[in-house]
Structure 1
């Protein structure tokens, strides 16, 4: 069983790359973020032809999340994060698929900080942690997958040696504290669990030749509940995908289970 997450940065703009990656990597379950497309423009026919059932929540121009399953149809559980009825942004989708609960997550970026966007990021993170606790308490196999927009530490395993990001919302103490509070519930950070010291970046900005220099950040994460952590067999980043022509600025992150 292989499960992956990928911020595609525009699903229709990257559709040929997505289809190529699906064919080459053959993941069983995929969480996508930043679709940047309304529901009616989601390319479900192309994905069906590729062998994947899909569940999606779109939004024009921004945000958007989806869950794909190879040879199966994800069963929707919820389409928004609980706790704020006024939140209309397409940032959360939860489904039952392949015997698991799978959540595709696109946490707010929060820039510029300080300011209202950063405050909204922290409120969203707080809601996420409350809902994550309720999922953990079920004892079921759960995956929280997506673009969390938080660099967990300043270690080279999470971010290249730089000072240029230190004022960015992704590195601030408050979201990092929220991340640590989430892990304290018991969730296992799959990449870090199997590769404790290896720099496995998931995002490289388009500016300043950051991809060729491997000046990256680790902001896309797969968190596992205990039943899945016990059968975790592998984890990695399909780094080469970031080097494809017209690529997203993120690379797919994946785990495998026995």
Structure 2
């Protein structure tokens, strides 16, 4: 895997004692409505010294869709999924994650998309609606991104990872600026952008929604500095055959 992806993956693990008091959340966003994104999942991992968190989407009673950057394969990591983290009034449900994710690895290398099987199925959490792939996203279509990640207000808008999720799930609207295309080391992606708006560490794996359906997964293809280039989003439609065969055959 490319060095850039490795560095981004390592950057998800940060010290438990890091100071997040000066950090803001998904850039330029707003509190998600309490009636939307009830399928949002917070993925957490910890090994006694470090911890990380990412986003995901419950697309089946036993499966979470996310990005491959939201996984630690090294020994010693305990990984869990927290469901019903939004709205704040919901009672959270915590489920352990198995040690082996299901990654999309054609030709022997991994795309930035991953499925995680829950240790037990859930019946009381709404599911994300999968996309209508007869419609292909076009330039200037508006997609809604969301997440619990943080960004800094440090020099030159430099990002720093956070070890704590936002107090409220953040939503942000962006326009598609580049339609689906293949990008080596990431996979099939489209790009979205808006003035002074962006995604950040901890937002990876969360859903990009269009017309109430999950058309994308936020990829760690964002730079170290906020708002310097469009956000990379994995195109879910390009992986629907793999997604449906995985969740129905295992």
TM-score, length-scaled by structure 2: 0.31
Specify which structure has the bigger relative contact order, considering alpha-carbon pairs within 8 angstroms and separated by 6 or more residues.
2
Question: Larger % of strand: which?
Answer: 2
TM-score, length-scaled by structure 1: 0.31
